[in-house]
Amino acid sequence: MKRLIAADSSCDMKEIPGVLAIAPLTIQLGDKDFVDDKNLNTETLMEAIQAHKGRSSTACPNVQAWADAFLQADETFVVTMTSALSGTYNSARVAMEMVKAEHPEKKIDLLDSLSTGPEMRLLVEKLEELIQDPSLDFDAVCAKIREYKTHTKLFYVLQSLHNMAENGRVSKLVAGAVDILGMRIIATASREGTVQSLSKCRGDRHAMEKLLVHLEEAGYSGGRFRIGHIGNPEGAKRLEDAILSRWPQAQVLCYPSGGLCTYYAEKGGLMIGAECR
């Protein structure tokens, strides 16, 4: 019996043959497409985004990309980015129905993360553990990952919401308040899987202090902590140091975000996935 995890590329992870399949989103700058797969160089993408002046947008993974993954395994555990902001969940659902019609014996579990980025990464990492446990059958893995999701949270500190607003993913009013030099927005994913602003502050130091307060309020107490940064390794390191000085037992991992998060969280952005209460 073969088990597989499938996730869209907003989880910032690369495919692991036989373990993790990634369905890529696409970033469109004018008539140039950047497929968010393992061949994408995010540095090049970032430069192209900075240089691009006209319209830009993104597209969710196509149904076939998901179906190709589902066909590889007997049991597939799928995690998608929030269905409130993207058609990604829906394309996975259509693929699931298509594959099940042909192969009714295949089991596919679809989980809407109502989040993205590093919180999705935590979910995928947990699934990697769960699917290796032979004492857990399909339903048990489904139940355990849902229980785990009640203890994970997404936070992000951004310098700009321009691309989110341009593509109708956040109101221009919220975005406008951030597009001022030196302003930072700290936000989270709402229960419904939309952008929920928590604080606006001036400068990185204030943003960092405020973020620690939000983390504490959310019940973070030193578990797994994932930091995806958009061309901001120094900011990610400063946050890692702050976390470790307050919670020395924290398991922190910093990494450059994938293409989709790079486009929406924009240069300088930090995205955080944390195990909370």
Nearer to ligand X90, 8 or 125 (CB): 8
* Angle formed by the axes of helices 204-217 and 233-246, nearest 10°: 40
Minimum Å gap between C-beta 237 and ligand X90 is 21
Nearer to ligand X90, 7 or 131 (CB): 7
Nearer to ligand X90, 75 or 115 (CB): 115
Minimum Å gap between C-beta 167 and ligand X90 is 7
Strand, coil or helix: 144: helix
Minimum Å gap between C-beta 62 and ligand X90 is 11
Interaction site with ligand X90 (CB under 6 A)? 25, 58-60, 82, 85-88, 115-117, 156, 169, 189, 193, 195, 261, 264-265
Per-residue DSSP letter, 115: S
Nearer to ligand X90, 3 or 26 (CB): 26
Minimum Å gap between C-beta 38 and ligand X90 is 19
| CA atoms of 121 and 105, how far apart (whole Å) | 28
Reported for 37-43, long-range contacts at CB under 8 A and 24+ positions apart, including other chains, are: 37/9, 38/14, 40/258, 40/259, 42/256, 42/257, 42/258, 42/259, 42/262, 43/231
